[in-house]
Copies of this chain bind each other. A is one copy, B any other.
Amino acid sequence: MRSPASKSGGAPQPGNGVDGLTLEQIVARLGGVLVGDARTVVQRLRPIVTAGASDITFLNRDKFLPLLAETHAAAVILPESLKDARPRSGNAIITADPYLYYARLSQWFWALQQPPFEPGRHATAQVDPAARVSERARIDAFAVIEAGAEIAADVHIGAGCHVGRDARIGPGSVLHPRSIVGWGCRLGARCVLQSGAVVGSDGFGYARQPDGAGVKIAQVGVAVLEDDVEVGANTTIDRGALDNTEIGRGVKIDNLVQIAHNVRIGPHTALAGCVGVSGSAEIGAYCFIGGGVGIAGHLRIADGVVIGGMSLVSRSVRQPGMYTGAFPLDTHANWERNAATVRQLHQLRDRIRHLEQRLETLQPEQPT
């Protein structure tokens, strides 16, 4: 028996209790068409190349088909386009989207391997008497819950987390160790903060005195995360200046992302690592913002926009589609020559125009 809340506390962890699932159990819960021996037991998900006799794996794209004949996996999740293909084991589950199937099965295996969630408070946690903490929540070592904060049922506050005054954490949310939710900020249901994430830091707002010194603008808005938002490790989300910063339902944010004050992000948009979003930018729903992208302030990105990695978005993007802006990589020697020419590009254009005019004078081009 394990009683983590009374010992050291921490994030969800794997145990050793799983005895495996039969293919029959899997299909009964997750769907798909089962081919082969329904009583086959699988104990882990593994990549197709390394899967062994007690593993299940998946094949996502037709181009990996040659791997199917070689895998030692006990069973393979296959797309409908390969519904007649078979691995050596003869066992397969046919489904419309093997990757999605894999995601759901991975969560199931994960849950099986976890020790049971045990509510309670570690003896060292500092929970203000004026905080409202569900009896079904778990608060780990050295966590701080300030006055007025609300912690819903099935929430796991990891070791060393900080939940500020009047903040609200919705049911089923997980704060990994040493993540922070500032005063007044609100997380919906099933949100996840990875370690070191900071929700509700002050926005970067200053007016300038006549002598040039900055005068801080008190940041009195909060940050609001709707249901099913995930925030990566050491990512920062500022509170609003007057209004709020708003992160829509199902938004997924990778590590080391900066979201400035008053940003609004629509549902189910994903932001990869190292993205920076400047103040008051609005990003639509179902967007994908590539790694390292910078988004300037006070602009608007439509729904369904994909931005390629390391691009700067300096103007609004009003149509869905894929956009990019990044200098192509080259050998340093070539880059140096081309970069020098980039700085003369405007003159080059003028020279071409001049050449065209001269040639036209010399011999006018025939209309085609």
A: which residues have CB within 8 A of B?
Answer: 2, 4, 7-11, 13-14, 45-47, 50, 97, 99-100, 102-104, 106-107, 109-110, 113, 122, 124, 126-129, 131, 140-142, 144-147, 159-160, 162, 164-166, 176-178, 180, 182-184, 192, 194-196, 198, 201-202, 204-210, 212-218, 220, 228, 230, 232-234, 236, 238, 242-243, 250, 252, 254-256, 258, 260, 268, 270, 272-274, 276, 278, 285-286, 291-292, 294, 296, 306-315, 317, 321-332, 334-346, 348-349, 351-352, 355-356, 358-359, 362-363, 365
Is the Cβ of A327 less than 8 Å from the Cβ of B342?
A: yes
A166 to B2, CA, bound (A): 14
Contact of A103 among B177, B215, B362 (CB under 8 A): B215
Chain B minimum-CB-distance residue to A233: B201
Is the Cβ of B341 less than 8 Å from the Cβ of A330?
A: no
Is the Cβ of A308 less than 8 Å from the Cβ of B332?
A: yes
Is the Cβ of A100 less than 8 Å from the Cβ of B207?
A: yes
Is the Cβ of A162 less than 8 Å from the Cβ of B311?
A: no
Give every chain B residue within 8 A of A313 (Cβ-Cβ): 329
Supposing A144-B160, A338-B345 touch, asked if A214 and B177 sit within 8 A by C-beta, the answer is no
Is the Cβ of A213 less than 8 Å from the Cβ of B233?
A: no
Contact of A107 among B209, B216, B250, B317 (CB under 8 A): B216
Among A104, A314, A317, A335, which residue has the most Cβ atoms of chain B within 10 A? A335
A196 to B144, CA, bound (A): 15
Give every chain B residue within 8 A of A273 (Cβ-Cβ): 204, 236, 258, 260, 276, 278
A215 to B334, CA, bound (A): 33
Give every chain B residue within 8 A of A217 (Cβ-Cβ): 102-103, 106-107
Give every chain B residue within 8 A of A268 (Cβ-Cβ): 212-214
Contact of A255 among B184, B201, B335, B338 (CB under 8 A): B201
26 contacts between A and B (CB under 8 A): A8-B127, A45-B242, A97-B210, A102-B217, A113-B220, A159-B162, A160-B160, A178-B178, A196-B234, A201-B255, A214-B270, A232-B236, A254-B258, A272-B278, A273-B276, A291-B294, A310-B312, A323-B331, A324-B329, A325-B326, A325-B330, A325-B335, A338-B345, A342-B342, A345-B345, A362-B363
A210 to B14, CA, bound (A): 30
Give every chain B residue within 8 A of A348 (Cβ-Cβ): 341, 348-349, 352
Is the Cβ of A102 less than 8 Å from the Cβ of B144?
A: no
Using A4-B146, A309-B312, A313-B329 as known contacts, list a sample of 14 further A-B pairs with CB atoms less than 8 Å apart, ordered by residue number in A: A13-B164, A103-B205, A113-B220, A144-B160, A204-B273, A214-B250, A255-B260, A276-B291, A294-B310, A307-B329, A338-B346, A344-B349, A355-B355, A359-B359
Among A128, A268, A325, which residue has the most Cβ atoms of chain B within 10 A? A325
Is the Cβ of B359 less than 8 Å from the Cβ of A342?
A: no
